[in-house]
Every structure is written in structure tokens, then in C-alpha cells.
Structure 1
Amino acid sequence: MKRPNSIAFPVATVLILGMALMMVISTVVTVTVFLLTDAQSRKQVAVESVVELLQHGGGYDHTGKFVLEVDGVIAEKLIRLSEEQPDFWYFVSDGAQSIIHGAVPASVQHVIDMTSPQIFSSQFYYFKGDERLLGLRKLNADVPAKLVVVGGASFSNLETLLVVLREIWPQGLYHLLGIVLVATATIAVVAVKRTIATPVRRVVDSAEQIDGLPNGRRISDRDTPIELKPMVAAFNSALGCIDNAFEAQRNFLANASHELRTPLTKLRLKLDLVRDLEVRNVLVRDTARLASIVTTSLQLARLSGQALTFSEIDLAAVARAIIAEHVPSAMKQGMDIEFKAPEGRVMISGSEPAIRVALDNLIINAMRHAHGTEVLVVEVLQSCILRVTDGGPGIPAAEREKMLRPFVRGSASASEGTGMGLAIVSQIMMAHTGSVALGEATGNGLVVDLAFPKIAKAPPSS
């Protein structure tokens, strides 16, 4: 399974590796500067490191003889470097056996003999000729206690740096680096991810507010990081190009539909002059269908990409007024329209002209396609649903979803239509953030439910 691509992961990785590298580099630089500026400290580091190596290196072989066994490549190298120096010497004793390297100065031997065994560590200076050298005596708390005395140790800058790194790595740097890396990883996982996600989330929230209307909302670049500004600008530019193309298409459709209405009206009037009744009926029917296509195309063009003006309206009152206009046409086709509504008002937030177009299309579709319907029922429910029920052949369940698309006609339709009536209804409901549901009536026929969002009630004043 492919791991999701994340901006935070590589940023966190670089941050952790960079922090670890900076810790090592800063430590080396700090120690180097320290060693280059303090010669006395270099001598002290050399003596103390050798004393520690000798204390840990003292042991016994299989015969019980006290011997010196230094473990580790660096430790062996340091002892070897020390032993190569002519002034270097050391004295190691467990109280019964001793290991001596080099010549212990007489003045130092006096210090060793006279120092109280209760003093575990002491530093001293002695002279060899005119040179002042540093010595260190150290007694550990082992049983038996091991006494180590070292003098004359001196390392170069590079050798001293090697000693310092060997000393501080296991004692402090390793733990400090571990703590820093854990803290960095935590910051990277939490803070870095949140820091990156916050501006991206603002851009996403702004994108979700895009209404799809010409010259409508765009992604705001206010408070947008400079890294995301090119993406926002490119997206807004693409929306502008889409708007221009959509506006050109909408204008063409509206202009073409408008220009066709006048010649179609004239053509319909001239058809009355045709003497052949059969030919005239065919031409009248085709002209009527063409006029219907032009009308619905004009409606679709006007609704597409146009912001509707919303207000609080009574859905029952609007439906009642629209039905009254269609009653004469329905009666001519031998169809009655029955209206049902609750006693109180059903208030919604919507566009009355758009709702009028939607209900007009549903009633006209029913009169055109629902043959055999004696009573067309239009009902307004308290739940803000406008329901239209006919007794026609209905629409098969497999075709209902695609019937909401433009220019799609049902396979069982016995009459010619534009295939845009339900598409216009669907678009109007989308503009109202509502929904269209096509179902089957009891027994036979089609049920169309237009569900409008309810108006949020304001909290009662205290």
C-alpha cells in the first residue's frame, strides 16, 4: 500500500537530521576552540584521561598477578601515545602489587608516600629541570582500592580532542542528543504538521466557499503563505477562464433561444394557412415542440450561473397561486389538480420566481407525459416538501437518476419532449441547497418530492 504523500514528513526528517548534525558540529567546534585557547586545560585533560584509563584497566590474570589490560582501540592508542613520551610515567597499585612505568621523580614519590589514604584525589606540580609538569594522584573506592599516580602526560591538540570526545560522548552528549532528537521529533510531528496544515486548511475552507457563479467567489490569498500564493493565483486564474467560457456559452444559448422565439411565433401563425389538415397538425406539433425546447433552453440559460435572490416565502401560498394558473389547461385535457397543504404557513428561504419555474415544469410534464391521470395531486408538507403525484406510467427505478440530467427522456415516454424539464427542476433545487427525489406512487404513477431546507429558528429572547 502506497504511503500518503505528506509535506510534514520530509520537513520533519530534515529537521531531525539537521538538529543531530548541528549538535555534533557545535560540540566539535566548542571543544576545538576550548583546546586551542587553554594550554593548561589540555594538560589537565591528558592527565585525567590517562588516570581514568589506568584505573579501569587494572586487573588480575589467571595466576592472580596484578596486570594492566586496557580495552578499546582509542584507549590503547592513548596509552601508547603516552608511553612514547620521555617524561611520562605512572604508578598503579592495589596495596599489595604495583605496576610502574617510567621513572617516578623522587619528589613525587615523597608526595605519594606522605599523602593520607583518606584523600581520594589530589593534583600536584613538580619540576624536571626548568620545566614545570603536572601530576595527578587518584584513589578509587574499589575493594581492594586502586591507587593511580600519573605525571608527564602531554597530548597534541588533535589527540586531546580525541580524548575529550571519548569522555563526553558516553557521559553527556549521547543523552543530550537523544533528548534533543526526541523533542525535535515531537515538535516535527505535531507542530510542523499543524503549522503546515493550518494555512492549507484556510485555503481549503476558502475553496469550499466557491459558489460556481460567473465572477463569483474566489480563493482568498489574504494571510496565505507565500509558498501557497502561486497555487491560489493559478486556481483563481483557472476559475476565471472557466467563467469566461461558461459565460460565452450561456450568452449564446440565451441569445439563440431569444432570437428563435419570434420566428417560431410567426411560423405558428402561418401554419393556420396550410389547408391539408394532416400536414398542418404535424407541423403544428413539431413547431410546438421546437418552441418548448427554445423556452426551456432560455430558462436553463437564465438559471445557469445566476445568483438567485432569496427571501422568506410561504411555500403553500406560492404553490396555490401557481396551480391556479394551470387549472384551465388541465381541465382542457380532462385532468383535475388537487392541492393539499397544512392550515398554517410553511415558511422557507427561497426564490419565488425560481420555485414558480420548477413547479411549472412539474405540472407541464405531468400533463404531457402522465397520460391517464385523472387527478394531479400537488401537496405541501409541513416538513418543507413540495410533492407532485400523477397517475401516469411513471419512471423505472433504473432511469430516475439520469432523468435529472439535461436532454434525457424516459424510455417509456409516449410523447415527445425536450428532456430538460426535470433537469431545470434539479438545478433550481441545487441553488436552494435542497434535493429532488423521484419515486413511485401507490399503485402507479410518479411522485416528485422537492425538499427545501428549513429556516433556522432564532433563539427566544430572554
Structure 2
Amino acid sequence: MAKASHSLRMRLALRLGVLHVVILVVVIAAIVWSISPPRTSFVDAKIAEAIADSLEARGDALVLRPDADLRPFLEHGPPIWFVAVDEHGRRLSYGAVPEVYRSLSQSLRDLEASEIHASGSPERLTLRIHTQDTDDGRLHLMVGGGRLLNVTNAFYLITLWLGWRIGLPLVLVTMIAVPWIIHRSMAGVAKVAKQAEAIDIRERGVRLEDAAVPRELQPLVRAFNEALERLGEGYEARDRFLADAAHELRAPIAILETRLESLPPGDTRTRLLTDLARLSNLAEQLLDLQRLGKQAAELIPVDLVSLAREVSADVAPLVLDAGYELAMDAPERPVRVMGDRLSLSRAFTNLFQNAIVHAGGRGLIHVRVTEEGAFQITDEGPGIPPEQREQVFTPFYRLKPSSVGTGLGLHLVQEIVARHGGHIGVLDAPGGGARFVVQLRPAPR
């Protein structure tokens, strides 16, 4: 069972997104390592937030009412000091404020969120300035001491801060931009794919445009073109062999026919002449295939009614001699299709020959031309099983190994119809037998 294909766009986008996340994590880890103890120290932001939430304004003063978040910091861990002031000038000082920061606290209302990191001892100089909007105005808080931020918390906070500001936008842009960029870069691949889909193996010299694809894919396109060239050479060699073989067979066949006709009448002579006619027909059909491959005839309007009548008149003696009856239905007015008269005549003739050989030597062979540019040839023979109706157009395929047919006639008809842009199919005849239906392109009116 074939594996499901993956989208190159999504795979690249996902991998680049993962790469960006990995790079961001490495950068954050490097930042945390560079600021981790004992190199420097940080006041835990949760302490400052808990203090700010526990402050209340009462008259002209600020009062600390520790809540459940602040109590663990006050009761456990190193002593905390802080200075708080609101925009109304109310102040509160708590704990042992370092001497060096007492003068700075006088200007606290003019300071915004910032940090001072102490390197080594004394870590009590580590400082965080926290600002927060409250119902009573803006609060400015200077905090020191207490539990210092550890490596894990530092990594978490930095990741949180950088993640949605840098990481998330970067990943989103990658998931959108990369597929778009790949789509634009691979536009030539879609063009070359359409060229490949349109390749007709019967048209030699067709090549894909390697300049339309990115440089990395050009070797693949060139290799495909080289494979087409080798395939074309193989078909050319096959065609030459078939043409040469058919030409070489003509002379021995003519000689054999002359010698067989000089034999006394009898069953042996009749059987030999029948086999020779079959061989002669095979050689002619091989030549027809070879000529068809080289032919580049221009398609012109052809009257299908007159062509059907002409071919029917030519093959009528063969049909009657083989024990069949012949009938034809066609419109009174011309039915014009785009085609090559000689090729279509060969297609008609081969369908007649197929009916003569396979219809059992009895019944009616019926020709019908429709107004829509189609013609049908129906017989009353055994018919063709549905599962074999596609195979009968394969070269040298026979429904029965003992059949006297050459196995090339229907293939030749299919090739002719395909070159006319038409379609041929096999159906069951109403009274039993096979009905071959050929639909051609109507001529413009």
C-alpha cells in the first residue's frame, strides 16, 4: 500500500516553526545563565505584586494589610523592606531600607518600573521598582530583600515575556509566510506538471521546460526529458522495424499468392489462400500503423454520410460472400465532421473486416450514421464480454486464440479515432452481437 504524500509547504513551515522555538529557548537559556546567581540577583516580582495588593489608603497614610499571598513572604525567608508612595503623596516605609536607597526613595513618584541587580554580596542591595494602577490612583513601590528569584523562576518569567512578544508572532508568520513563499517558488513546478500531463507519447520530440522550475529540481526535469528521448528512440526503432518487416513481407506474399493460385482447386488451396490473405492483411495493417505514425494530415470537413456509403459499397461484395446481409441508415443531408478522409476510410474498412471475421458468418451487419457526427457498425455475432471491451483495442489481442483475425485492426481504428480527437466504444447490440460506436468532432457550421 502506497504511503500518503506529505505537503512540502506544511512540512517546511512546521520544521521552521519548531526551529524558531528551539532557537528562542536556547536564547532564553543563555540569558538566564548569564544573569543567574552568583553572577547577579533579582527580587521576585510576585513579592512586589503581593505588597501592592496588600496596601490600603487610610486618610493621609498607606497601611499594610498582608493578604494570603504576602504572608508566606513575610513569615518565611529573608527580611523584606519596601517604600511605597501614591500620587496623593501618601507614603509607607517598611523594614530596614538600605542607606544608599533612602535618598532615592524621595524621588520614587518620578520613577517607573525598573530593577537594580546586585552582583554577589551584599545581595540586599538588589532592588525592584514596581508601579501599579489602583482605584485611588497610581502606586509606586520600591522593594528589596526577601526571596530572590531563582533560575527556574527567571527562566519562566523570561519565557513568558518573550514568548508572546517574539516567539508566537514569529511562529505565526512562519506558518503563513513560508507556505506562500514556497507556493510562489514552486509555481513553475505546476506549469511543468501540466506539460507532463499533456504529453502524448505518439508525439515525438516533446520536452518539459526545465527553466521553469527551481535550480534544485532541474536535474529531475532533465532526467525526465532524457527518458522521453530514449523512449522516443525506442518507438522510432520499433516503427522502423515494423515498416521494414511489412515491406519485406510484401514480395514473398505476392510470390506465394501467384504459386498458390496455380495449384489445382481444392480445400487445401482454399485454406492456404485464406491464411495468405490473413498474412497479407497483417502486413498492410502494419504499414497502415507506420504511415499513421508519420502522418500529419490536416483535418478538414468530411461528409460522414457519403464516406460511409462509399466504404459500404466497396466492402459489400466481401460482406455478402462471407454470408452476411448489409444495411445502412443515414440522414438524407450531409453530416460533416473534422477528419482526414483516407484515415477515416481505413477505420470504416477495419470495422467491417472485424465484423466479417468475428460475427459467425451469418446475420446482418448494420451501418448507421447519426446527426451528431457518430457512426456505428453493428453485427449479430456472439458479442464481446464487458470485461474484455477495453482489451480488444490492444495490439495483437484476440478474444479467442484460434481466431483468424490479426489483432491489429481495432487498434488501428482506435489510433485513427484518437488522432481525430474522437472516441470509440463497444456496446451490446439490441438483438445480440457487438456494436462499435465512433464519435467524431462535428465540423463548424
Match of 2:117 in 1: none
Match of 1:298 in 2: 287
Deviation at 1:5, TM superposition (A): 2.5
Q: TM-score, normalised by structure 1?
A: 0.72
Which one of the candidate residues 89, 95, 98 is aligned to 1:99?
A: 95
Label 1:121 to 1:254 Cα distance change in 2 as closer, same or farther (>3 A).
closer
Amino acid at match of 1:176: I
Counterparts of 2:159 and 2:338 in 1: how far apart (Å)?
72
* RMSD, aligned α-carbons: 4.7
Deviation at 1:11, TM superposition (A): 1.6
Match of 1:40 in 2: none
Match of 1:181 in 2: 171
Deviation at 1:171, TM superposition (A): 4.4
Which one of the candidate residues 404, 407, 410 is aligned to 2:396?
A: 407
Is the CA contact 1:91–1:149 (under 8 Å) kept in the aligned structure 2? yes
Farther off after superposition, 217-226 or 264-273: 217-226
Length, aligned pairs only = 411
Provide the identity percentage.
27
Counterparts of 1:340 and 1:227 in 2: how far apart (Å)?
61
Counterparts of 2:268 and 2:306 in 1: how far apart (Å)?
44
Farther off after superposition, 359-368 or 57-66: 57-66
Farther off after superposition, 92-101 or 134-143: 134-143
Q: TM-score, normalised by structure 2?
A: 0.74
SS in 2 for 1:56: helix
Which one of the candidate residues 409, 413, 418 is aligned to 2:406?
A: 418
Counterparts of 1:65 and 1:393 in 2: how far apart (Å)?
99
Label 1:187 to 1:3 Cα distance change in 2 as closer, same or farther (>3 A).
farther
Which one of the candidate residues 338, 356, 375 is aligned to 1:367?
A: 356
Structure 2 gaps, min length 5: 55-64, 86-90, 115-124
After superposition, where does 1:10-409 map in structure 2 within 5 Å?
Answer: 10-20=11-21, 50=43, 55-56=48-49, 58=51, 68-69=73-74, 91-92=82-83, 98-101=94-97, 103-104=98-99, 109=102, 115=106, 148-149=141-142, 170-171=160-161, 174-188=164-178, 190-195=179-184, 197-213=186-202, 215-275=204-264, 277-304=266-293, 307-333=296-322, 335-373=324-362, 375-409=364-398
Label 1:146 to 1:54 Cα distance change in 2 as closer, same or farther (>3 A).
farther
SS in 1 for 2:216: coil
Label 1:6 to 1:109 Cα distance change in 2 as closer, same or farther (>3 A).
closer
Is the CA contact 1:361–1:421 (under 8 Å) kept in the aligned structure 2? yes
Deviation at 1:175, TM superposition (A): 2.9
Label 1:150 to 1:64 Cα distance change in 2 as closer, same or farther (>3 A).
closer
Match of 1:86 in 2: none
Match of 2:423 in 1: 435
Counterparts of 1:404 and 1:273 in 2: how far apart (Å)?
37
Is the CA contact 1:66–1:97 (under 8 Å) kept in the aligned structure 2? no
Deviation at 1:247, TM superposition (A): 0.9
Structure 1 gaps, min length 5: 36-45, 84-88, 124-132, 153-158, 458-462
Counterparts of 1:225 and 1:432 in 2: how far apart (Å)?
37
Is the CA contact 1:337–1:375 (under 8 Å) kept in the aligned structure 2? yes
Deviation at 1:177, TM superposition (A): 2.4
Match of 1:128 in 2: none
Amino acid at match of 2:280: A
Label 1:177 to 1:337 Cα distance change in 2 as closer, same or farther (>3 A).
same
Counterparts of 2:177 and 2:257 in 1: how far apart (Å)?
77
Amino acid at match of 2:377: V
Counterparts of 2:246 and 2:190 in 1: how far apart (Å)?
43
Is the CA contact 2:185–2:214 (under 8 Å) kept in the aligned structure 1? no
Label 1:52 to 1:351 Cα distance change in 2 as closer, same or farther (>3 A).
same
Is the CA contact 1:51–1:149 (under 8 Å) kept in the aligned structure 2? no
SS in 2 for 1:337: strand
Is the CA contact 1:315–1:345 (under 8 Å) kept in the aligned structure 2? yes
SS in 1 for 2:435: strand
